[in-house]
């Protein structure tokens, strides 16, 4: 029987044209929002629905994390304080070679739980797909919503193609909560011809699986470090001028179905191409700062009308899945480097974490706002906390003062996944114990193989 829920008495931050409704209410039937408005009006219309008392709380759309590597929570704290090239080549890639499907599944469960408990309802994740245990399975079982991709490299083309074909079967699964993406790792690890092949494969997979489930999109790392053009020359013996986005555009692979993570080192022409091609950007300030990759020119991109959303990046490079932290650092970072306190106000940053996140994942028709007809992906935040008093402006508090631990209830696709900070869908204690066991076994395998 479909859920029938009415959330009453809270401050409704809709992120839509309806703005903020104080003493507001929202009605959920099945997986969708069917009504919203003032509590007194809604209460009379839906007297028999299950009630959630949200007095003293904020009701808002779930946060959308547009760049993650969920399984890498298993490597949280494993290799800190290294530059990206050394971090990847000396530490991360060598140990990842020994990860099993079960490791990926457990790491993904851990990140899913952390995300749900911190108010994230949708994740865009890129990792290594394995058929039996994988990120899609973890998302399905926890009740999260997500886009799941398989990361592609030039050195394993046959493996990648097979994995993508298998992964594509997940598109539209779990009551529509799971979508799929094709994920070339980066311009310096995927050669030009393979980039083009992956574009053709994406079209073929969309013809077979898209249907009513939305498109299979592209997800890639782009312009993360300033030496990417040099890496391309060294890897593929290519001599190209201009910026990294210009190079990708010359291959004919950019379009509105592409979400590009990082976009730190961009030329003016690069930014213009991102705008012209409709490419969406996932800004990852915490990861970029930790790896000293630089600071993305987000204000410049926003001025050009480019959709810029937010991401945490992996729990190995962040080291958390906390989107509240990402929002605050996004706002503060760009104010600081520009020396302009008016840059990226709270309203814009909150929009980046909700509305623009949905738009970046080509899911804006169903999620990102609280509106009639959209999916019921909703979080309830307890504002009866010392650090959230006194209250002048809810949006300001959500970006500058609220914490992940203030999230009390998480609803995804109309299902209550967390209530009073208790996860309903999976055994959290078991996942934590399994994660510790998986870490120990992984390190043992890596040590024995490398002796």
Helix/strand/coil (H, E, C) string of 335-364?
HHHHCCCCCCCHHHHHHHCCHHHHHHCCCC
Length of the chain: 451
Residue-averaged pLDDT of the chain: 95
Residues 205 and 217: their CA atoms lie apart, in Å, by 10
Max Cα distance, the chain (Å): 71
CATH number assigned to the domain covering 63-360: 3.20.20.140
Q: Which spans in 143-282 are helix H?
A: 157-167, 192-209, 228-236, 244-250, 268-277
Residue for token digits 């959330």? Answer: 7
The answer to whether 120 and 70 are in contact (CB under 8 A) is no
- 419, HSE (Cβ side, Cα atoms, 13 Å): 10
451 pLDDT above the threshold of 60:
no
Q: How confident is the model at residue 450 (pLDDT cuts 50, 70, 90)?
A: low
Residues 94 and 98: their CA atoms lie apart, in Å, by 8
- Span 115-122, mean pLDDT? 98
Burial of 401 (0-12, 13-18, 19+ CB in 10 A): middle
- Span 258-286, mean pLDDT? 98
Q: How confident is the model at residue 88 (pLDDT cuts 50, 70, 90)?
A: confident
Q: What is the pLDDT of residue 241?
A: 84
177 pLDDT above the threshold of 70:
yes
Instruction: State CA 79 to chain mean position distance.
Output: 22
The answer to whether 10 and 353 are in contact (CB under 8 A) is no
The continuous run of DSSP H or E covering 400 comes out as helix 394-400
- CATH 2.30.40.10 is held by the domain 4-61+368-420: yes
Q: What is the pLDDT of residue 94?
A: 85
| Sign, Cα dihedral of 14, 15, 21, 22 | positive
| Sign, Cα dihedral of 67, 69, 75, 81 | negative
- Span 25-35, mean pLDDT? 98
Q: Which DSSP state fits 104? A: H
Q: How confident is the model at residue 181 (pLDDT cuts 50, 70, 90)?
A: very high
- Span 181-205, mean pLDDT? 98
- Span 391-413, mean pLDDT? 98
Residues 28 and 378: their CA atoms lie apart, in Å, by 10
- Span 135-144, mean pLDDT? 98
Phi, psi of 379 (to 5 degrees): -120, 150
Q: Percent of the chain at pLDDT above 70? A: 98
381 pLDDT above the threshold of 90:
yes
101 pLDDT above the threshold of 70:
yes
Q: What phi-psi label fits residue 100: left (phi over 0), alpha (psi between -120 and 50 degrees) or beta?
A: beta
- Span 179-189, mean pLDDT? 98
Report CA-CA distances (Å) from 307 to 120, 354, 395, 436.
19, 12, 20, 38
Least confidently predicted of 71-85, 188-202, 342-356: 71-85
Burial of 299 (0-12, 13-18, 19+ CB in 10 A): middle
Residues 18 and 178: their CA atoms lie apart, in Å, by 29
- 295, HSE (Cβ side, Cα atoms, 13 Å): 14
- Span 318-334, mean pLDDT? 97
Q: How confident is the model at residue 80 (pLDDT cuts 50, 70, 90)?
A: confident
Same fold? 4-61+368-420, 63-360: no
Long-range contacts of 274-277 (CB under 8 A, 24+ apart): 274/245, 274/301, 274/304, 274/306, 275/301, 275/304, 275/305, 275/306, 277/249
Q: What is the pLDDT of residue 341?
A: 97
Q: How confident is the model at residue 447 (pLDDT cuts 50, 70, 90)?
A: low
Domain boundaries, the chain: 4-61+368-420, 63-360
Q: What is the pLDDT of residue 448?
A: 64
Pairing verdict, β 415-419 and 407-412: antiparallel
Instruction: State CA 358 to chain mean position distance.
Output: 10
| Sign, Cα dihedral of 100, 103, 107, 110 | positive
């Amino acid at each position: 029987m479909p859920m029938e829920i009415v959330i009453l008495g809270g401050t409704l931050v809709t992120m839509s044209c309806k703005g903020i409704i104080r003493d507001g209410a929202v009605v959920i039937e099945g997986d969708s929002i069917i009504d919203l408005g003032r509590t007194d009006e809604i209460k009379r219309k839906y007297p028999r629905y299950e009630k959630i008392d949200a007095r003293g709380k904020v009701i808002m759309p779930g946060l959308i994390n547009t760049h993650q590597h969920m399984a890498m929570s298993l490597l949280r704290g494993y290799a800190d304080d290294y530059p990206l090239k050394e971090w990847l080549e000396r530490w991360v890639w060598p140990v990842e070679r020994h990860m099993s499907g079960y490791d990926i599944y457990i790491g993904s469960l851990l990140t899913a739980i952390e995300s749900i408990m911190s108010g994230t309802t949708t994740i865009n994740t890129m990792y290594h797909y394995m058929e039996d245990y994988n990120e899609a399975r973890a998302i399905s079982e926890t009740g999260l919503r997500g886009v799941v991709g398989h990361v592609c490299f030039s050195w394993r083309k046959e493996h990648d193609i097979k994995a993508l074909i298998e992964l594509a079967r997940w598109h539209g699964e779990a009551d529509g909560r799971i979508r799929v993406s094709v994920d070339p790792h980066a311009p310096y690890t995927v050669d030009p011809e393979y980039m083009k092949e992956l574009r053709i494969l994406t079209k073929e997979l969309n013809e077979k699986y898209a249907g009513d489930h939305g498109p299979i999109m592209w997800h890639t790392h782009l312009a993360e470090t300033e030496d990417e053009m040099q890496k391309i020359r060294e890897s593929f013996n290519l001599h190209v001028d201009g910026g990294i986005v210009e190079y990708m555009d010359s291959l004919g692979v950019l379009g509105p179905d592409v979400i590009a993570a990082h976009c730190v080192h961009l030329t003016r022409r690069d930014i213009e191409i991102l705008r012209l091609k409709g490419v969406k950007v996932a800004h990852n300030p915490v990861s970029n700062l930790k790896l000293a990759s630089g600071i993305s020119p987000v204000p410049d991109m926003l001025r050009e009308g480019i959709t810029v959303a937010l991401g945490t990046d992996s729990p190995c490079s962040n080291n958390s899945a906390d989107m509240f932290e990402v929002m605050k650092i996004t706002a503060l970072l760009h104010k600081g480097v520009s020396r302009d306190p008016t840059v990226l106000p709270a309203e814009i940053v909150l929009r980046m974490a909700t509305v623009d996140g949905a738009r970046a994942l080509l899911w804006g028709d169903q999620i990102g706002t609280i509106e009639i007809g959209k999916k019921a992906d909703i979080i309830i935040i307890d504002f009866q906390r010392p650090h959230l008093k006194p209250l002048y402006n809810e949006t300001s508090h959500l970006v500058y003062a609220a914490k992940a631990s203030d999230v009390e209830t998480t609803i995804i696709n109309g299902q209550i996944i967390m209530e009073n900070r208790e996860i309903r869908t999976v055994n959290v204690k078991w996942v934590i114990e399994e994660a510790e066991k998986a870490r120990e076994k992984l390190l043992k395998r890596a040590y024995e193989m490398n002796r």
